[in-house]
Structure 1
Amino acid sequence: MPKRNSSDTKIYVLDTNILLHEPHAFLSFKEHDVVIPMTVLEELDYIKDSKKDVARDARVSIRAMEDLLHDATPEEMLAGVTMEGMGAGSTAPSGSLSIFTDLNMAETQQVFTSNENDNRIINVALHLQKTFAPQQVVLVTKDLNMRLKAKGAGLAHVEDYRTDQLITDIKYLSRGFHQFEGNFWDAVKSVDSRTEGRDTIHTVPKSMLPEAYVNEFLLDDSKHFAGLVEAVNQDSLEILDLGYERLMSRHAWGITPKNIGQAMALHALLDPHIDLVVLTGPAGSGKTLLALAAALEMVVERNMYDKIIVTRSTPEIAESIGFLPGTEEEKMLPWLAAITDSLEVLHKHDENTKGSMNYIMEKANIQYKSVNFMRGRSIQNSIVILDESQNLTASQLKTIITRCGEGTKIIVGGNLAQIDSNYLSAVTSGLTYLVEKFKYFSGSATINLDGVVRSRLASFAEENL
């Protein structure tokens, strides 16, 4: 049990899903104490040997706790082992980690009498709240129903895990562009312009846009100016003049943008200096089609990359793809139908659409891969298209992005309104985390596509359903 009984520190009781979401989460509570109920260890033990996507996360979390507790005696594990030295900087933990043997709790200490795992964990939190009052005891879980049950049972403090949550509301998520009211040049007090080859670069005071970041697009309402932030200095911004009409005239693999959002996305996708492009937006905004068109243009027409690797997460409702017949690529085809649909659209005017698709898939060396099998790989000189990424956690996205080797460009797409995961919301999705973490990285660009271009039916459904 935690050694300290002070109102200055808190006791955090962690649910299993927290350690699956972030395996090292127990190290994120600074000076506060962390309690892991035995039921949580049992659940991790069951999951680590399963075929679920989170099995690896369970194993990582168990190893991390074992590294901390391996020299502790049984008595010390129950009393609490200090986490000092397990991290660096201002966020380094200094509290203790303890294991609570809730399996042997007397019925007099329990509020819930049914033997469900969630009820056992809530019972632990309620028992600690009673034992250590007035010290604050907090149950941390991503399960919304469990939070409601805990509060209904009398637990005063219940929280979601927010250490990896960089914004409080999805409306604050970076869109990748900034729009000025009226004419852009009316807002400019002073400017220094220079020409580099065919490009014109304007240097303007940073006070115009204090929160600007590299590769952020700048637009105005007059539809005359379009620019891109090339560099952010201490008191100035360097803006590449793209020209609104020139930006709208960009094309790839026969596709031209239907709105300024698609034009900005196409510019970022075709820019060889940008290694990571994140496309967010509603269904029907053109994320997949633009990504595939740009990838084909760069692989087949320009010979900039060797192949295209297409991947996405398979929803937990069908977590095993092993029951589908064929090779890995054939098994993935149902999940990646959006890619084949887009490929069909790009070649619908060909004399033999199916023949063209087969030829291009071979010419561009398009490979369909499951996210489950991306671990351990090193992908060189390729374009990776990661579709439906809103269902991935930050640690899962890190696993995929760190696979990218020299000369590889990754395109991440997702719709934050279509999250299927039980434990993720728009603000806790790995896609949101990725956008906010990479917005100041000069090798990345984010574009929020906000116009549905499929049909008036799709537009109405997106706005009203």
Structure 2
Amino acid sequence: MTQAQSKIYVLDTNILLHEPLAFLSFQEHDVVIPMTVLEELDHIKDSKKDVARDARVSIRALENVLADASPEQMAVGVMLAGLGSKEHGPSGRLRIYTDLLMEPNKQVFTSNENDNRIINVALDLQRSFPDQAVILVTKDINMRLKAKGAGMQYVEDYRTDQLIDDIKYLSKGFIKVPGRFWDGVTDVDSQTEGRDTVHRIALTQLPELYINAFIIDEAKEFAGVVELIDDTHAEIVDLGVERLMARQAWGVHPKNIGQAMALHALLDPHIDLCILTGPAGSGKTLLALAAALEMVVEKNMYDKIIVTRSTPEIAESIGFLPGTEEEKMAPWLSAITDSLEVLHGQDVNTSGSLSYIMEKANIQFKSVNFMRGRSIQNAIVILDESQNLTASQLKTIITRCGEGTKLIVGGNLAQIDSNYLSAVTSGLTYLVEKFKNFSGSSTMMLDGVVRSRLAEFAEKSL
């Protein structure tokens, strides 16, 4: 590859916080890290923020690469060959750019903000290497706008870990067959196993199937779930629309076929990970809590319910709230207590019922920040508002789940509060796609707003 064909990528600090080893992901192209980025990592690594660990990992990784390099080599670039994965490992160079020494007349931005200094570096490289594409990579949307306005020709989000290009391609957890199911499926081998009927069909008839995917038809006559899949055939358990809609948990009955399929997955003891996506008011939290209470209190399948969620300010603000950890978490988990009140709103003594159920089901409110290092056994973990978490943060929580633990993850990709995440880069999207072919997980996108006609109109019109 000629020098003109290779590219120069300038990384912003948030890229290394999002993925600490991101500088190894650009294959044959060169990577430039401005000195300002190292300064920001230095400030973050000793802070109490949740990303402090990622900053330390990134600094150690950079030190391993550059430890033996001379100042002259660091200015020109240190070869990255031999690092990363064997198949797609990097072969370009890593360079630290001393932007603090840049001549004032070369700086487009004169204010000393960190973002401006990083953009100045990218602009200076663009002038110095006119034959090469210089690309500024940042997850900060406003910084991308500023860089474009200042004259950067190429500005991108970090897409190496992006699994889909558009949210419309995200797995819904079910496949809707046009018309009647049996009109399109002719080659089938059906067998009765206990109470269930299992259909074995060729994948050529339904090529988009994956494990634990639900199948429904437009005629509302067939409902099934993929139990087993191989290279040529799939085995589908016939659930029956009426039987599916008749399921209930803790007095909650599904109001549409989407909720019915979600409830089936939530109550399935063979499913270790349930992912619920969909708009506000579609019933994600209520269904998760009802199923959890059913399995803990009525069926004694688990010992306790642990409820946690992500909020952008939680790392900074939780310490200023009074009381124990659970009392501090209460304002953030009001959606759970609201759902509990709905489930027991008809009781003679609602507050007494809530206190009894909280104790009987051993419901614990925990902060995401304190999940690291734990090993949770024989429990149901409900993770709410997960759209604001990165893939690495979700990995931290999932790897805490020990033997006999069921994880229920809920989130609305239309309500992302993070400055650096979008619907396609959210950890929730990553989780849905990565676990699509895992036999112990099930995904369901709830698309009907059932909270009220007011909420439904607002979801469609505002």
**TM-score higher than 0.5 here?**
yes
1:280 to 2:277 alignment: yes
SS at match of 2:254: coil
CA distance in 1, matches of 2:179, 2:127: 61
SS at match of 1:207: coil
- Corresponding residue for residue 420 of structure 1: 417
Shift of 1:141: 0.5
1:381 to 2:384 alignment: no
CA distance in 2, matches of 1:223, 1:68: 59
1:51/1:320 contact within 8 Å kept:
no
Q: How does 1:353-372 map to 2 (within 5 A)?
A: 353-372=350-369
Shift of 1:128: 1.1
Shift of 1:319: 3.2
1:330 to 2:303 alignment: no
- Quick one: which amino acid aligns to residue 93 of structure 2? S
SS at match of 1:6: coil
Structure 2 gaps of 5+ residues are: none
CA distance in 2, matches of 1:353, 1:76: 70
**Compared with structure 1, are the counterparts of its residues 133 and 31 closer, same or farther at alpha carbon in structure 2 (3 Å cutoff)?**
same
CA distance in 2, matches of 1:27, 1:234: 34
- Quick one: which amino acid aligns to residue 251 of structure 2? G
- Quick one: which amino acid aligns to residue 444 of structure 2? I
The one of 96, 100, 116 equivalent to 1:99 is: 96
- Corresponding residue for residue 307 of structure 1: 304
1:440 to 2:437 alignment: yes
- Quick one: which amino acid aligns to residue 319 of structure 1? E
Moved more, 350-359 or 47-56: 47-56
- Corresponding residue for residue 121 of structure 1: 118
CA distance in 2, matches of 1:246, 1:394: 36
CA distance in 1, matches of 2:83, 2:309: 34
SS at match of 2:318: coil
The one of 204, 208, 212 equivalent to 1:211 is: 208
2:330/2:365 contact within 8 Å kept:
yes
SS at match of 1:254: coil
2:134/2:154 contact within 8 Å kept:
yes
Give the number of aligned pairs.
462
* 1:338-391 CA distance string (max 9 Å, x none): 001111111111111111111111111111110111111111111110000001
- Corresponding residue for residue 224 of structure 1: 221
- Quick one: which amino acid aligns to residue 432 of structure 1? T
1:36 to 2:3 alignment: no
The one of 170, 186, 191 equivalent to 1:189 is: 186
- Corresponding residue for residue 347 of structure 2: 350
* 1:6-50 CA distance string (max 9 Å, x none): 022111000011111111111111111111100011111111222
The one of 48, 53, 66 equivalent to 1:51 is: 48
Moved more, 102-111 or 304-313: 102-111
2:49/2:315 contact within 8 Å kept:
no
CA distance in 2, matches of 1:90, 1:161: 20
The one of 55, 58, 67 equivalent to 1:61 is: 58
CA distance in 1, matches of 2:56, 2:361: 37
1:147 to 2:141 alignment: no
Identity across aligned pairs (percent)?
A: 77
Q: TM-score, normalised by structure 1?
A: 0.97
SS at match of 1:12: strand
- Quick one: which amino acid aligns to residue 441 of structure 1? F
Q: TM-score, normalised by structure 2?
A: 0.98
1:314/1:370 contact within 8 Å kept:
no
- Corresponding residue for residue 289 of structure 1: 286
